[in-house]
Amino acid sequence: MLTERHLEIFVALAEEEHFGAAAQRVGITQPPLSQGLRRLEALLGVRLFDRSRGVTLTDEGALLLPHARRALAALTGLREAGARERAEGRRLRLGLAPEVPPPVAGAVAAAPGRAGEGGRIGVATAPTATLLSELAAGRLDLAVVRHPAVLHGLAAGRVVLFPTWLLSPAERHIALHGSPRLPVAVRPREEAPAAYDLFVDTLASRGRRVETVVVSDERAGLALVAAGQAVLVTADAALSADGVERAPATDPPLPLRLRVVWDARRPDADGIARTAQTLVEALTGQAAS
């Protein structure tokens, strides 16, 4: 899929004619810049730069350049229009990963109003990978996502850790590393690849193979636990059912890692950063309560 980031990398490299300078301009290092260029060339099916004589545009690259500049200008115009609308009272658009517990989600959504920042707020729930794409495209203002995640130049607040619990069938309470074993209910890896890998790697740190079963959400995972078919790790203190036993998920430690993310390249970035700090404080307060 062609993204704004692809166009930013292409235009920066076309104008700077140097990989290092272009990477610095778009706020990334050279390896992801080169990777982004390769993906763009693969998407278009053409070579955009001749690397045999420095970094110069090919004929196809020269044809693309004015179109890329116009597309980026149009996107900037959309963001500026959005900033004006928000200044006039348009709602703040907040995204929340589905793993955020309901009380935490409520506290974070209410934080801007309590801080006197006013305005309406619209809340959307989506996987971390989707939220990051929506932020980069300007369709969200802020998001609370799982950590770790590849941010592609987005700004982020500090990582906040939340305790989790292991839910298991009551008649056969087991440890994650114990025996008999049940698969661990997990959401699809593509929703948050880095966070998923950290979770599974932590489970595997005791040297045993980790069995998982993919579920659409924690409610579906809870149903499998109640049916005696899986165990589930959750940060939702209220998630429970008959036939389900709860224990702290501390062996090994499996905290839910969350952070607030936003796009610092926006025209109204200073205001968004202030609101982001308000959300970070609300998130931290919930973790400590």
Fold matches, 91-160+257-288 and 164-254:
yes
Q: What is the CATH topology of the domain spanning 91-160+257-288?
A: D-Maltodextrin-Binding Protein; domain 2 (3.40.190)
The CATH number of 164-254, from 3.40.190.10, 1.10.357.10, 3.30.390.50, 3.40.190.170, is 3.40.190.10
Question: Given pLDDT bands bounded at 50, 70 and 90, which one contains residue 144?
Answer: very high
What average pLDDT score do residues 193-220 get? Answer: 90
- So what's the pLDDT on residue 179? 43
For residue 99, give the DSSP letter.
T
Examine the pLDDT at 119 and tell me if it is beyond 70. no
How confident is the model over 260-273, as pLDDT tens digits?
999 998 888 888 99
The region of weakest confidence among 80-84, 149-153, 232-236 is: 80-84
- So what's the pLDDT on residue 178? 52
- So what's the pLDDT on residue 78? 73
In which region does residue 253 sit, left (phi positive, over 0), alpha (psi from -120 to 50) or beta (all else)? Answer: beta
Q: Look up tokens 């740190």; give the residue.
A: 205
Q: What is the CATH topology of the domain spanning 4-84?
A: Arc Repressor Mutant, subunit A (1.10.10)
Give domain limits for the chain.
Answer: 4-84, 91-160+257-288, 164-254
How confident is the model over 85-113, as pLDDT tens digits?
655 556 789 999 999 999 999 999 999 98
5/163 Cα distance (integer angstroms) = 35
Question: Given pLDDT bands bounded at 50, 70 and 90, which one contains residue 51?
Answer: confident
